[in-house]
Structure 1
């Protein structure tokens, strides 16, 4: 295999010209560096509650019953409230301003979490943290779709998603280290120090965003891009966007356009369901299992679930690389792999009499569920590539509807009081995997159907143009 072939597999389509290669190098460096660090702190500040819960917060705040689940549900409600408004704000406010501003706000709220005296105060903080953190995930996927071609998008989306998973992994490692070295220092518990350190990490990255983030190609004034590179960035994706559908203020025409197509409903349903396949990892079921059965230290309870996240990172990168390398840019096989992985994991955990090693295997292979996240949003970017405004709404809606379900799903199927077995949750996971396969087929079919109809319309347009040209020639001859 040639170097060009290897480069395509590892990093997506290879630019044809030197100018495009230089442009891609710059946007990779500045867009991915900030977006990945921003999302890293997003998940670091989000997942610290689950690590704090099993590291002393539960006892210090006198938490009982399903209050841990309620904290996550309240955060999710804030996330839902902030989802579409945040993405629409990117249409009217510079992303270079909006992203870092929201990051500063949730960083400040993370600091506040270190000083809570009761769980009610944490409820309030987590709600507003959800509102501000909602700016990051779908907003970044919108930005990535504005700069990258289809053959470049999968790997970048995967790297971005992995940065959040690294934040989750790092939070567990950091909590274990903080508990070991800072617990009791200055009269503060280790879990309180975790919130302080996470806030300290967050703020400098926000300042970096103010300096380097380039907005979108049509509005960028980044100091590191030449005028020629700005024009090239627009031209690279211009052929995929229809007139009147580019970045700009939302109108009622946009609402009618979005709601009259299958894309909004299909993509929203796909992530609303498939996103729940992440429940074994996102609810830290492994950590709750280890704490409930006893025999493990606080450090081990923080460290061992990191393996779930590590599998998620590896699976996401492999799947993203594969989807970019395939000619058809097929995304659906990744969702099939994810559904199979969580089904196997659930069956292993339902067989409760099995050895402890089997349970470790089950939780770790369930980490593959994270690979569907990047793929699903890259797929939606691909489907809506011809309409930037629709793309912004669809991406936001996908995450919003997933969080609408996630607001109550764990309270029913993954309650803290169900530890260590979570039997009903395992049955729910099998049902979710089956539903994911059905919706994946629906979206695949509708995308193929739309391309086929578009191709037929294109043929008719060409025939009509030829007829008009012949008529004009005949008139000229007369």
Structure 2
């Protein structure tokens, strides 16, 4: 690769991710998640094996687009499934654990990259990065098999072998006052319901904007900075950015537990926005010492704390309409990735390393915008609850003319 090829590969992957987002989440209304998720993971694994054999960057473009289609099933799909199992007072912690597990994977990835490069680079005539894709594929396929056997679906349809009949009934019964599950066929009335409410617009805008605070980590700016300033080995360039992920994991778990206890979601987005503003200023002032820049990049890991909180918030807001909930969750990630498709090319091109001056200014702006949209969503949710005479934590009943909710029992 040369020039901005790295950014282009990420952008093409993002395009596939965008295209597959809503269709994949709607498929969960038709096909059991226990079947759909592992099938998509097998596709992802096969494509990962293919990545180890590419001979030019154009072949990688095609594979990454298809990988985006497959990968788009899992993140928001899992948040949808979590919203079907847990109460509002439980959802933040579970969303945080799920998000953190992905971050642990990212943390492990950096360590794996360094280990593969150090031990397998040149082995059997293959470059280290080719071995990395092979190992990723080997890891993926057994996990897909695990999903076929163990994944529990949603309470109304679960056939998990480790749950008794009484436990399945309890799982459905305990959420009837909070989460409405609709098994009616998909129809155009769903679009009418979604577009006539503020939820789709507000939640989509919230994550579209706040998700860009993750640009420090998603574009590996610290790794690009270390490579550009020189003086660091390849393993060090792989290892040191792992500190960003470590901060992200701790922030996510602490904030998620706190939100469940307090039932307040918005302070987490304030915390991550302020952290990103401080980090950006530290990097923007280029005369600051190297140690302060390390601190700034690590502090920016706090941006990931908002991910679990935002999706838990959306699950709570849309708890009264199962189909709307699926589309809103997918749309949130979709619109964020619409921005991601071009955002790194404009604000974080590899050619801007090590300073990323435009990117730091953009980060300050998007952090301020996140504060404004967070207030807007908080205000609209509060107004909706007051309009129905409900408390902030009680779901609002939808109009019965839209569709009939079926009671769920084991």
Q: TM-score range by the shorter chain?
A: over 0.9
CA distance in 2, matches of 1:348, 1:276: 18
1:392 equivalent to 2:326? Answer yes
> CA offsets per residue over residues 22-55 of structure 1, 9 Å max, x none?
xxxxxxxxxxxxxxxxxxxxxxxxxxxxxxxxxx
Say if 1:247 and 1:376 are closer, same or farther in 2 by CA, change over 3 A. farther
CA distance in 1, matches of 2:323, 2:135: 38
Relative to structure 1, the CA distance from residue 456 to residue 184 in structure 2 (aligned partners, 3 Å threshold; closer, same or farther) is closer
- Write the distance in 1 (CA, Å) between the matches of 2:274 and 2:92: 21
Q: SS at 1:92's partner residue?
A: coil
CA distance in 2: counterparts of 1:150 and 1:306, whole angstroms: 32
Partner SS for 2:245: helix
1:65 matches 2:35: no
Q: Deviations over 1:310-352 (max 9, x none)?
A: 00000000100100111xx110000000000000000000100
Q: Is the 8 A contact 2:87 2:178 kept in 1?
A: no
Cα distance per residue 1:297-320 (max 9 Å; x no partner):
001000000000000000000100
1:130 aligns with 2:64: no
User: Could you tell me which residue of structure 2 aligns to residue 253 of structure 1?
Assistant: 189
- Structure 1 residue 371: Cα displacement: 0.4
Matched, 1:214 2:148: no
1:290 to 222, 226, 242: 226
Residue by residue over 1:357-388, the C-alpha shift from the partner in whole angstroms, topping out at 9 and shown as x without a partner, is 01101100000000000000000001111111
Per the TM alignment, residue 353 of structure 1 is displaced from its structure 2 partner at its CA by 0.8
Partner residue, 1:266? 202
Which shows bigger deviation, 391-400 or 233-242? 233-242
Select which of 216, 236, 258 maps to 1:280: 216
Shift, 1:249, TM fit:
3.0
CA shift for structure 1 position 456: 7.0
Q: Distance in 2 between matches of 1:234 and 1:179?
A: 48
Quick one: distance in 2 between partners of 1:249 and 1:150? 26
SS at structure 1 position matched to 2:186: coil
Distance 1:229 1:205 in 2: 25
Counterpart CA distance in 2 for 1:172 and 1:247 is: 42
Q: Which runs of 4+ in 1 moved over 6 A?
A: none
Corresponding residue for 2:286?
352
Residue number in structure 2 paired with 1:104: 42
Is the partner of 1:100 in helix, strand or coil? helix
- After TM superposition, give the deviation of residue 239 of structure 1 in Å: 1.6
For 1:217, what is the secondary structure of its paired residue? coil
The structure-2 alpha-carbon separation of the partners of 1:247 and 1:371, relative to structure 1 and needing over 3 Å to count, comes to farther
CA contact (8 A) 1:384 1:390 kept: yes
TM-score calculated relative to the size of structure 1: 0.81
Following superposition, the deviation at residue 167 of structure 1 comes to 1.2
TM-score normalized with structure 2 length: 0.94
Distance (Å, rounded) in 1 between the aligned partners of 2:173 and 2:197: 27
Determine whether 1:198 maps to 2:198. Answer: no
Whether the 8 Å CA contact 1:345–1:365 is kept in 2: the answer is yes
Unaligned 5+ runs, structure 1:
1-62, 458-478
**Equivalent in the alignment of 2:401:** none
Could you say which residue in structure 2 is the equivalent of 1:226?
Answer: 164
Counterpart in the other structure of 1:383:
317
Conserved? CA contact 1:248–1:389, under 8 Å: no
Structure 1 residues 413 and 456, CA gap change in structure 2 (3 angstroms): closer
* 1:334–1:371 Cα contact (<8 Å) kept: yes
TM superposition shift of 1:222: 1.8
| Greater per-residue helix proportion | 1
Does 2:360 match 1:422?
A: no
The 5 A counterparts of 1:315-394 are: 315-326=251-262, 329-394=263-328
Shift of residue 234 of structure 1? Answer: 1.1
User: Which of the pair has the greater relative contact order for Cα pairs under 8 Å at 6+ separation?
Assistant: 2
| 1:411 paired residue number | 345
Aligned-pair RMSD on alpha carbons? 1.1
Q: Structure 1 residue 113 and structure 2 residue 51: aligned?
A: yes
2:379: which partner in 1? 445
Change in Cα spacing, 1:302 to 1:248, as seen in structure 2 (3 Å) is farther
Q: Deviations over 1:416-455 (max 9, x none)?
A: 0000100000000000000000000000001111111111
Shift of 1:169: 1.0
Q: Is the Cα contact below 8 Å between 2:14 and 2:341 reproduced in 1?
A: yes
CA drift at 1:240: 2.2
Q: Deviations over 1:255-304 (max 9, x none)?
A: 10111000000000000000000001110000001001110000100000
Q: 1:249 to 1:358 in 2, by over 3 A?
A: same
Query: How far apart, in 1, do the equivalents of 2:184 and 2:85 lie?
Result: 16
Note the C-alpha offset of 1:68: 0.5
Query: 1:140 aligned to 2:74?
Result: no
- Cα distance change on mapping 1:271 and 1:456 into 2, 3 Å: closer
